[in-house]
RNA sequence: GCCGGGGUGGCGGAACGGUAGACGCGGAGGACUUAAAAUCCUCUUGGCGAGAGUCAGUGUGGGUUCGAAUCCCACCCCCGGCACCA
């Protein structure tokens, strides 16, 4: 028997799969027939082609691979594609650093990562490969942008935006973490710029409500999305500055506290601030404060532990419910981009207003009684008043706060002083980027009268121009391609200039899962009927880092495409699974931390099969896990033992069909467990343990001639069941055991009769404590089971002649005797 | 602060209200070998005990239950999200 040489076996089978198109899956012919119904779309988040596979990829794609293999062998038509999220900053930064074109760098990286993926042996349908940086792909990204534009869902506006001074480009809100750029960590700055946005806020409620349509998503992801959307219900109330004839609406979630408003605050960026103070004695101080605020960094400004600051405007606003005149302040604890950029301040019932009032002196007026037992100190901050009774609130005094909320909003509405309103934390998606390596935004600016003019569909794609310099200078590098920028207006034929910003790469990845269904289509981004066949994705797998960004954007895109009639479903991903992160030496594996284990080294040393097995065996797939350098020895040894046993079994020839025996029954039980764990429980570590266990048993039985047939059956079953995890070795052994192609073999099914046992281990408890176990025949009555239990000497010792007050019998499992 | 997830041997973990610690790593001892590697066998939660055993034990404290790692309540700790969002 030759030694197990993973490299040789793996190279051999990878070549066979390629030659025989093993994992190619054809679309069904249209129209879809009922016999095509058993489909499954298994998708992993597409990689950014950095050129180097890391362990996170290995886990992600091995998970998808196991699901894919099992479903294929269970008779499903399985779509399992692969592609590259190929636009983006790393390639561009590499081009700046090392020279060369981002396109060439990306192509080189794609070639390298594809090679590594093939070395892992993943069962990908390579005929559907997609790169988002390919003009045949981004043509349709641009096409979709134009459809959004037509529907008013893409728009351009001047706004205060988040600017990364390092990457020299704007960022979406979702790309700012704790005031820093999520890519490079630089502190973001605020900048007023004209930019392109997607109107995702119009879908805030749909994104929340349609979570109900999802089959199975992790609770934490849903929570993160809910937090991000940040819906809160309340009311808009109109305060008025009489002397200037200005209405200042505010958003509040506590209209029941309107009578407690003792001052009013505007955000420093509020557009009406200048008008309020112009020509007054407060002008200088207010302008000074506004300038001071603008100079503060974003990180500093959002720190809630900062002492409150603010300045008086000298103006007074009228409280709509009682006509009271309250002073108007400007303070930076009020944010321009939430609500209306202005608030009514109720210091008795809002912590922030309370802190401000304590420092600057406005009165603190309790209008909702504290809950019973809480101190009712004069002028104190009163927490937890939801549901309590209103005091000093005019006609609403005495109502409980929930009714008061309704009553006050109704009163406001009837008097045209307010209305019910909903606030969201979610902002529109800023999609333009001042960088080179992305899809150009397909519009031109007419220099005559036409304004913003979309590039006609037939002129797509708008190809990226060639430029010499990718260095970001605060404007898009595309602007340097003057010949490209200068164009004619599609509408009037006059002179026009092209938009030079490119799209956020998250636009590219918001629809790629549809392109896979129809990757060669030249007429449309994809065929509607075939997309409706394959989607929604049955199982999506990827990292938690995309919980908000990609997953929220893709859901938004799908809803819009559904409304456009491009697809007939509202949610793209029915089931989502997030794999955990991989740590080593207590930190997330990262080049910068020097704790990376390169998959390539693992493959060279132990083989792809052992690496695949270990990454799934080491811990539950959804948990963060610590990489143990010696851990892979276990799966490597397991494969070597399987190799030896299978060879011994093969050499002995055919022993006929096995008789009933414990080993045969355990084998059937293992089939059951492995299938159930993978398909129902989505658990991947325990099947490996079950296979190791079965191998141990088979090995112990192998020298018993009476069990030759059972050992062969067990061994062949292990080979068959391990195929999704270790496909190369499984094929090799399957062949050596005298069979053909294992990937074409149907998935084993347990014989129900063999899952039935004729004896079982009865656990006997006394007062809930295990005292003994005994092997008994199945099918005994409760009385018989109790009789067997009470016969046992150890049990008798604990019964100690006492009276049995109660007996619990769980058939097939245990007897619990309660004595008193 | 609010929301979500989690806390089990030396380590990774198993246990889908019913035998806590499967499977694996590491460790100890042994077999084979001139030796090593590889392989195989035995042991490996803690206390007491020569042993058969026995008591304790799943972050802490309560509760529900015949029976709780698992369900409920309170608390502690760790991880993640949100947070001057009115």
Q: Which of the two residues, A458 and A582, has the higher pLDDT score?
A: A458
Give the pLDDT band of residue A513 (cuts 50, 70, 90): very high
Residue A818 CA and nucleotide B57 C1' are separated, in Å, by: 23
DSSP three-state, residue A390: strand
Given a cut of 60, is residue A375 above it in pLDDT? Answer: no
Residues 777-796 on chain A lying near strand B, CB distance under 7 A: 794
Residue A689 CA and nucleotide B43 C1' are separated, in Å, by: 21
Residue A462 CA and nucleotide B29 C1' are separated, in Å, by: 74
Q: What is chain A's mean pLDDT, rounded?
A: 92
Q: Is the CB of A427 under 7 A from strand B?
A: no
Q: Which of the two residues, A375 and A162, has the higher pLDDT score?
A: A162
Mean pLDDT, rounded, for A47-61 = 93
Looking at this predicted complex, what is its ipTM? 0.96
pLDDT value, residue A592: 74
pLDDT value, residue A626: 83
Mean pLDDT, rounded, for A542-547 = 90
Q: Is the CB of A251 under 7 A from strand B?
A: yes
β strands within A281-398, DSSP E: 311-318, 325-330, 342-345
Question: pLDDT tens digits, residue range A617-631?
Answer: 999 999 888 888 899
Q: Is the CB of A302 under 7 A from strand B?
A: yes
A599 token code pair = 């998959």
Given a cut of 80, is residue A690 above it in pLDDT? Answer: yes
Nucleotide closest to A222 measured between CA and C1' = B4
For residue A328, whether the previous peptide bond is cis, meaning omega lies within 30 degrees of 0, is: no
Exposed / middle / buried, residue A749 (Cβ in 10 Å: 0-12, 13-18, 19+): exposed
Mean pLDDT, rounded, for A599-605 = 94
Please tell me the least confidently modeled range out of A179-188, A643-652, A736-745.
A179-188
Nucleotide closest to A227 measured between CA and C1' = B82
Given a cut of 70, is residue A286 above it in pLDDT? Answer: yes
Query: Which residues have C-beta within 8 Å of that of residue A764, sequence separation ≥ 6?
Result: A770, A771, A772, A773, A774, A789, A792, A795, A814, A815, A816, A817
Give the pLDDT band of residue A386 (cuts 50, 70, 90): low
Helix or strand holding residue A23 (H, E): none
Residue A638 CA and nucleotide B38 C1' are separated, in Å, by: 14
**Among candidate residues A430, A395, A415, the one with its CA nearest the CA of residue A503:** A430
Query: Which residues have C-beta within 8 Å of that of residue A743, sequence separation ≥ 6?
Result: A17, A22, A23, A69, A72, A73, A123, A723, A727, A731
Given a cut of 90, is residue A696 above it in pLDDT? Answer: yes
Mean pLDDT, rounded, for A648-674 = 93
Mean pLDDT, rounded, for A402-425 = 94
Give the separation between CA A600 and CA A525, rounded to whole angstroms: 36
Residue A781 CA and nucleotide B63 C1' are separated, in Å, by: 34
Give the pLDDT band of residue A595 (cuts 50, 70, 90): confident
pLDDT value, residue A372: 62
pLDDT value, residue A643: 97
Residue A649 CA and nucleotide B45 C1' are separated, in Å, by: 39
pLDDT value, residue A820: 73
DSSP three-state, residue A173: helix
Which of chain B's bases lie under 7 Å from a protein CB? 3-5, 11-16, 18-20, 22-26, 38-41, 53-55, 66-68, 79-86
Give the pLDDT band of residue A490 (cuts 50, 70, 90): very high
Looking at chain A, the whole-number percentage of residues with pLDDT higher than 70 is 98
Q: Is the CB of A689 under 7 A from strand B?
A: yes
Looking at chain A, the whole-number percentage of residues with pLDDT higher than 90 is 75
Give the pLDDT band of residue A373 (cuts 50, 70, 90): low
A300 token code pair = 């500093």
Q: Is the CB of A425 under 7 A from strand B?
A: yes
Nucleotide closest to A692 measured between CA and C1' = B23
Residue A701 CA and nucleotide B17 C1' are separated, in Å, by: 36
Question: pLDDT tens digits, residue range A734-762?
Answer: 999 999 999 999 999 999 999 988 888 89
Q: Is the CB of A421 under 7 A from strand B?
A: no
Question: pLDDT tens digits, residue range A349-371?
Answer: 898 999 999 999 899 999 988 76
Mean pLDDT, rounded, for A669-683 = 96
Q: Which of the two residues, A677 and A760, has the higher pLDDT score?
A: A677
Give the residue ranges of DSSP H helices in A680-777.
685-701, 708-722, 727-736, 752-755
Q: How would you write A77-110 as a 3-class SS string?
A: EEECCCEECCCCHHHHHHHHHHCCCHHHHHHHHH
Give the separation between CA A258 and CA A238, rounded to whole angstroms: 11
Mean pLDDT, rounded, for A437-447 = 97
Question: pLDDT tens digits, residue range A23-50?
Answer: 999 999 989 998 888 999 999 999 999 8
Q: Is the CB of A688 under 7 A from strand B?
A: yes
Given a cut of 90, is residue A159 above it in pLDDT? Answer: no
Mean pLDDT, rounded, for A560-572 = 97
- Provide φ and ψ at A587, rounded to 5°: -130, 155
pLDDT value, residue A219: 86
Please tell me the least confidently modeled range out of A104-113, A267-276, A304-313, A705-714.
A304-313
């Amino acid at each position: 028997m030759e030694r197990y040489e993973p490299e040789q076996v793996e190279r051999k089978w990878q070549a066979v799969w390629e030659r025989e198109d093993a994992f190619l899956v054809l679309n069904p012919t249209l129209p879809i027939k009922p016999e095509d119904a058993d489909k499954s779309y298994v998708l992993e988040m597409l990689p950014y082609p950095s050129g180097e596979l890391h362990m996170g990829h290995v886990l992600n794609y091995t998970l998808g691979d196991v699901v894919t293999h099992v479903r294929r062998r269970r008779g499903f038509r399985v779509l399992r594609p692969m592609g590259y999220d190929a636009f983006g900053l790393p390639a561009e930064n590499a081009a700046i650093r090392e020279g060369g074109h981002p396109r060439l760098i990306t192509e080189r990286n794609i070639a390298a990562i594809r090679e590594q993926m093939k070395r892992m042996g993943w069962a990908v349908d390579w005929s559907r490969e997609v790169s988002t940086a390919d003009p045949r792909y981004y043509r349709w990204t641009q096409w979709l942008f134009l459809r959004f534009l037509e529907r008013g869902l893409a728009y351009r506006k001047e706004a205060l935006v988040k600017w990364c001074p390092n990457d020299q480009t704007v960022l979406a809100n979702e790309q700012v973490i704790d005031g820093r750029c999520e890519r490079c960590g630089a502190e973001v700055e605020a900048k007023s710029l004209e930019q392109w946005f997607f109107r995702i806020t119009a879908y805030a409620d749909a994104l929340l409500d349609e979570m109900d349509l999802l089959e199975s998503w992790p609770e934490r992801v849903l929570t993160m999305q809910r937090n991000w959307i940040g819906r809160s219900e309340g009311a808009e109330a109109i305060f008025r500055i009489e002397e200037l004839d200005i209405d200042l609406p505010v958003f509040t979630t506590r209209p029941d506290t309107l009578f407690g408003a003792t001052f009013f605050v505007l955000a420093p960026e509020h557009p009406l601030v200048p008008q309020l103070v112009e020509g007054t004695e407060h002008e200088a101080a207010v302008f000074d404060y506004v300038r001071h605020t603008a100079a503060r960094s974003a990180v500093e400004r959002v720190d809630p532990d900062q002492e409150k600051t603010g300045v008086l405007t000298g103006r007074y606003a009228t409280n709509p419910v009682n006509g009271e005149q309250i002073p108007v302040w400007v303070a930076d604890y009020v944010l321009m981009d939430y609500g209306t950029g202005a608030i009514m301040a109720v210091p008795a019932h809002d912590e922030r207003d309370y802190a401000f009032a304590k420092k600057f002196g406005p009165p603190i007026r309790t209008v909702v009684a504290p809950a019973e037992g809480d101190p009712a100190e004069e002028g104190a901050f009163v927490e937890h008043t939801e549901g309590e009774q209103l005091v000093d609130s005019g006609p609403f005094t005495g109502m409980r706060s929930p009714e008061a909320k309704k009553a006050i909003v109704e009163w406001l509405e009837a008097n045209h002083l307010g209305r019910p309103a909903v606030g969201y934390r979610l902002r529109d998606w800023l999609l333009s980027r001042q960088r080179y390596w992305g899809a150009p935004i397909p519009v031109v600016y007419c220099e005559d009268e036409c304004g913003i003019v979309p590039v006609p569909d037939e002129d797509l794609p708008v190809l990226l121009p060639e430029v010499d310099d990718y260095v970001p200078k605060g404007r898009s590098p595309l602007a340097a391609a003057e010949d490209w920028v200068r164009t004619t207006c599609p509408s009037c034929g006059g002179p026009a200039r092209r938009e030079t910003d490119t799209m956020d790469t998250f636009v590219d990845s918001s629809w790629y899962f549809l392109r896979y269904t129809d990757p060669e289509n030249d007429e449309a981004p994809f065929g509607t009927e075939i997309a409706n066949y394959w989607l929604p994705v049955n199982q999506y797998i990827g990292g938690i880092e995309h919980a908000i960004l990609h997953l929220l954007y893709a859901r938004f895109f799908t809803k819009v495409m559904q409304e456009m009639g491009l697809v007939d479903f509202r949610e793209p991903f029915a089931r989502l699974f997030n794999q955990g992160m991989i740590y080593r030496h207590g930190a997330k594996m990262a080049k910068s931390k020097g704790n990376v284990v390169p998959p390539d080294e693992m493959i060279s040393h132990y083989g792809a099969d052992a690496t695949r097995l270990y990454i799934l065996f080491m811990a539950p797939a959804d948990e963060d896990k610590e990489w143990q350098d010696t851990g892979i020895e276990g799966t490597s040894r397991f494969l070597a033992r399987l190799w030896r046993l299978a060879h011994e079994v093969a050499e002995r020839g055919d022993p006929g069909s096995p008789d009933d025996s414990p080993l045969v029954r355990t084998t059937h039980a293992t089939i059951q467990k492995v299938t159930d764990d993978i398909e129902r429980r989505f658990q991947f570590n325990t099947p490996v343990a079950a296979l190791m266990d079965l191998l141990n048993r088979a090995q112990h039985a192998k020298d018993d001639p009476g069990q030759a047939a059972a050992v062969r059956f067990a061994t062949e079953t292990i080979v068959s069941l391990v195929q999704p995890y270790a496909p190369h070795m499984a094929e090799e052994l399957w062949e050596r055991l005298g069979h053909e192609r294992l990937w074409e073999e149907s998935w084993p099914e347990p014989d129900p009769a063999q899952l039935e046992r004729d004896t079982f281990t009865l656990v006997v408890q006394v007062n809930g404590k295990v005292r003994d176990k005994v092997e008994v025949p199945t099918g005994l009555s409760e009385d018989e089971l109790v009789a067997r239990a009470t016969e046992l000497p150890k049990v008798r010792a604990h019964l100690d002649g006492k009276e049995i007050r109660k007996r619990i019998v769980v058939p097939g499992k245990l007897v619990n005797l309660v004595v008193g």
